[in-house]
Chains A and B, each alone.
Chain A
Amino acid sequence: MAETPCSDLSKAEEILGRYPQEEPALIQVLQDVHRAYNYLPCDVLERVAEALEVPLAKVFSVSTFYKAFSLEPQGDTIVKVCTGTACHIRGAGQLVEELERQLGVGPDETTEDFKFTVKTVNCVGACAMAPLVIVGEKYFGSAKPARVSKYLTEGGADEN
């Protein structure tokens, strides 16, 4: 899934139609755009800026401020490792390393085949199950480095 030079703007129009055309809607619009396109394509951001009458610079500033947004295309499945405090002291670091060994990419990177994007998150609120790996929508509690490849197949499979 390489970046196409021009994005299909009809999805963006549909999203914009759901909100009042003003600045307070910006973050909500960007969240929906992110979900629809799996990242924030530049040409869509230009359209959003125009529609909400917000300077493009401001749209970029918001897009880069919040962690939930990516300006790069993402893999089909997002693999998150919780590196919050509870997970950290129960060995989350080893999980990040194991993923790097298996997928060849570190946090905030995407595999060449666009199958996986690895991310670290600060606590997903399931600290009692620390450490956690989340593959797609599937949570794996008390995660162990030795089981990482299993998590990837199980969680990745759900997406398709």
Chain B
Amino acid sequence: MRIESRDQFEALRKQSLEIETNRKQQVLVCCGTGCLASGSKEVAEAFADEIAKRSIDATVDLFVKSTGCHGFCERGPLVVLNPQGILYTKVKAGRVEEIVEKTLVGGEVIPGLLYKDPVSGERVEQYEEVPFYRHQVRVAMRNIGRIDPTDILDAIAQGSYSGVAKVLFEMSPHEVIGEVATSGQRGRGGAGFNTARKWQSCKDAPGERCYVLCNGDEGDPGAFKDRSIMEGDPHSVLEGMIIGAYAVQANEGWIYVRDEYPLAVVNLTIAIREARKYGLLGENIMGSGFDFDIKISRGGGAFVCGESSALMRSLEGKTGEPRAKYVHSTDKGLFDLPTVLNNVETWAGIGAIIERGGAWFASMGTERSKGTKAFSLVGKVKNTGLIELPMGTTLRHIIYDIGGGILKDRPFKAVQTGGPSGGCVPEELLDLPVDYEELTEAGSMMGSGGMIVMDDRTCMVDVSRFFLAFLEEESCGKCTPCREGLKQMLHVYGRIIAGKGQAGDLELIEKLAAGMQLGSLCELGKSAPNPVLSTLRYFRSEYEAHISDHACPAGVCRELTAFEIVEDGCDGCHLCYKACPVDAITGVVKELHVIDHEACISCGACLDVCPTDTIRTFPKHELEKAEVV
């Protein structure tokens, strides 16, 4: 079973590929975190039961495979039938029998299960024709949704570890770094540092040993590409790390995984065990004489531990407090030895770069940002999920062509990128080609590829306050500008959203922001003002409305907002009545409903459920005025 030579590896790959192609009828059931939440495990089990039943009369030769996240989580559970290439969405276990009967045995498509394009209203049959997938170019996510992440032979059949074989038997470490340099790949974890240059610095640094680490901490709320890669194709991460380790001649590696990602830990653990069993990890990999092994470390649930020096302290068993930046981790990283740390997506792309060549990767993307990038497209957009696109794709293409536009066709307001260190990009910049530099110039950041779409019902003051509150809690407290700056800024935001903002508050915020940018120890504090500054830059009038008019134009800030039902729009559907958590709504079915302003807590639950859009928000102070009259 252990692979002792390159020939043995190639033979195993050929054999796995044959098994794979001989499987006549395949049913791929997505079992990523998103689909599992919608019940995909039951669906997979129902298919297995159905096969067991059918195999008695042997009419179909079925093979059910649980795959990683297809990315289209909102439509889950997803089922793909191959070789037909049919995609069924929102499949419930109860419909499995019908699918087997009609589609697999009868060759008939069930229209009700097909994806309905929200733009054209048409049903789309083929997986590849769904606009959400059609526009994508998948490199780091190349195998996700196609392989069973717990089956190493399935991954090998699709080409995993071929890059390892290539570097170990054909290339010198120097040549490997050269190939990665040609690709121009930059880190996918946030800062966008050139991968090859990082590896070279580590290789050149003195030290008796060096380490290779994978950053799977994915702390940006709203981003989940790393989770999907670790869950859906852990082998691509291992392959990248083995290649990187060979390039810098490291023998030990760690993957630092976020505590909130239990399935990622399970699938990575299985992948490492399997890789060791086949001699793809451990001593004398593929009989080449090169040793490298990987361990998993589960994070403790601290955002700052995604920062490189904090992550290394955490791996050492300490509290995750960052170090000053003048110490480079490529010189003095983990245990003060030279260390390469790359993001999950960065590692996942390496195998493809080695296999297909750096020039191929560099042929995609923009001048300064090469290749493709994974994004999680979420928020108030019709198609939410995980996508991978060439760098330089415009925001408009992403949000409207792939995302299908804004939920309920409401007006677009902004898209938040880069997580708590990023910013909000407004409508005027929708034609911005997305790459590292363009986003930075727009006052935002690439970060880890979270894209949170916001509509007119999102308050930009509230969003900025949300990020400040997040960062205040996550700040490690080591340096004063970050610890105290966040606290004071939050204090000012607190009074603005309560309608007690004062003249000069915005200038005060800007002053605090400047201080934090200058004085903070690590990037967490330095970049913390980004969400604040970008919203001030593009949505200043919204802040001013809060301060001078005591009004929240989006109708979100509770202390400033009142709700009422517009008389001639209400058809008495009673949904708001049921949704109200404090019973502030009265009315009977088919008649006009009324909100009691005294009891209303302005939570907005009624507005969210109203199908006729007849609930209106208005500034609360108008209510008081009305009472005086």
A contact residues vs B (CB 8 Å cutoff): 23-28, 31, 54, 58, 61-62, 65-69, 83-91, 93-94, 97-98, 101, 121-130, 132, 139-141, 144-146
| A26 CA / B319 CA spacing, docked (Å) | 10
Complex contact A130–B604 (CB within 8 A): no
Query: Is B34's beta carbon under 8 Å from chain A?
Result: yes
| A144 CA / B579 CA spacing, docked (Å) | 9
Complex contact A140–B315 (CB within 8 A): no
Which secondary structure characterizes the binding site on chain A? helix
Contact pick for A27, options B317, B376, B378, CB 8 Å: B317
Contact pick for B378, options A83, A86, A91, CB 8 Å: A86
| A92 CA / B467 CA spacing, docked (Å) | 14
What residues of chain B lie closer than 8 Å to A54, measured between beta carbons? 317
What residues of chain B lie closer than 8 Å to A23, measured between beta carbons? 316-318
Pairs across A and B, CB under 8 Å, 18 listed:
A23-B317, A65-B302, A66-B299, A85-B452, A85-B467, A93-B603, A94-B603, A97-B581, A121-B301, A123-B220, A123-B223, A125-B260, A126-B33, A126-B224, A127-B222, A128-B72, A128-B74, A128-B378
Contact pick for A89, options B219, B463, B605, CB 8 Å: B463
Complex contact A126–B34 (CB within 8 A): yes
What residues of chain B lie closer than 8 Å to A130, measured between beta carbons? 378-379, 384
| A97 CA / B315 CA spacing, docked (Å) | 36
| A27 CA / B386 CA spacing, docked (Å) | 32
For B416, give the chain A residue with the smallest CB separation: A85
| A144 CA / B228 CA spacing, docked (Å) | 25
Q: B565-582 CB contact bits vs A (8 Å, 1 = yes)? A: 000000000000011010
| A27 CA / B303 CA spacing, docked (Å) | 16
Contact pick for A145, options B228, B318, B450, B579, CB 8 Å: B579
Kindly list 14 other residue pairs between chains A and B, CB separation below 8 angstroms, not including A65-B302, A139-B36, A146-B579. Answer: A26-B317, A27-B314, A28-B317, A66-B299, A66-B302, A85-B379, A85-B467, A86-B379, A88-B466, A91-B604, A121-B260, A122-B219, A124-B260, A129-B76
Complex contact A31–B301 (CB within 8 A): no
**Nearest CB of chain B from residue A158's CB, rounded to whole Å:** 13
| A139 CA / B76 CA spacing, docked (Å) | 13
- Interface size class of chain B, counting residues whose CB lies under 8 Å from the partner chain: 35 or more
Contact flag A125-B298 (CB < 8 Å), given A89-B454, A90-B379, A141-B38 = no
Complex contact A126–B379 (CB within 8 A): no
Contact flag A128-B384 (CB < 8 Å), given A84-B221, A85-B452, A86-B379 = yes
Complex contact B224–A145 (CB within 8 A): no
Contact pick for A129, options B73, B218, B416, B470, CB 8 Å: B73
| A62 CA / B313 CA spacing, docked (Å) | 11
Complex contact B603–A61 (CB within 8 A): no
Complex contact A127–B37 (CB within 8 A): no
B contact residues vs A (CB 8 Å cutoff): 33-34, 36-38, 72-74, 76, 218-224, 227-228, 258-261, 297-303, 314-320, 376, 378-380, 384-386, 416, 419, 450, 452, 454, 458, 463, 466-467, 470, 474, 476, 578-579, 581, 603-605, 608
Complex contact A65–B416 (CB within 8 A): no
Complex contact B608–A91 (CB within 8 A): yes
Contact pick for B222, options A61, A101, A123, A132, CB 8 Å: A123
| A5 CA / B529 CA spacing, docked (Å) | 46
What residues of chain B lie closer than 8 Å to A24, measured between beta carbons? 315-317
Contact flag A66-B301 (CB < 8 Å), given A86-B378, A127-B224 = yes
What residues of chain A lie closer than 8 Å to B298, measured between beta carbons? 28, 31
Complex contact B221–A61 (CB within 8 A): no
Complex contact B450–A85 (CB within 8 A): yes
Complex contact A89–B458 (CB within 8 A): yes
What residues of chain A lie closer than 8 Å to B38, measured between beta carbons? 129, 141
**Nearest CB of chain B from residue A87's CB, rounded to whole Å:** 8
What residues of chain A lie closer than 8 Å to B384, measured between beta carbons? 127-128, 130
| A104 CA / B376 CA spacing, docked (Å) | 35
Complex contact A85–B466 (CB within 8 A): yes
Q: Name the 4 nearest CB pairs between A and B, nearest first.
A: A66-B300, A84-B221, A139-B37, A128-B73
For A66, give the chain B residue with the smallest CB separation: B300
**Nearest CB of chain B from residue A22's CB, rounded to whole Å:** 8
| A12 CA / B218 CA spacing, docked (Å) | 30
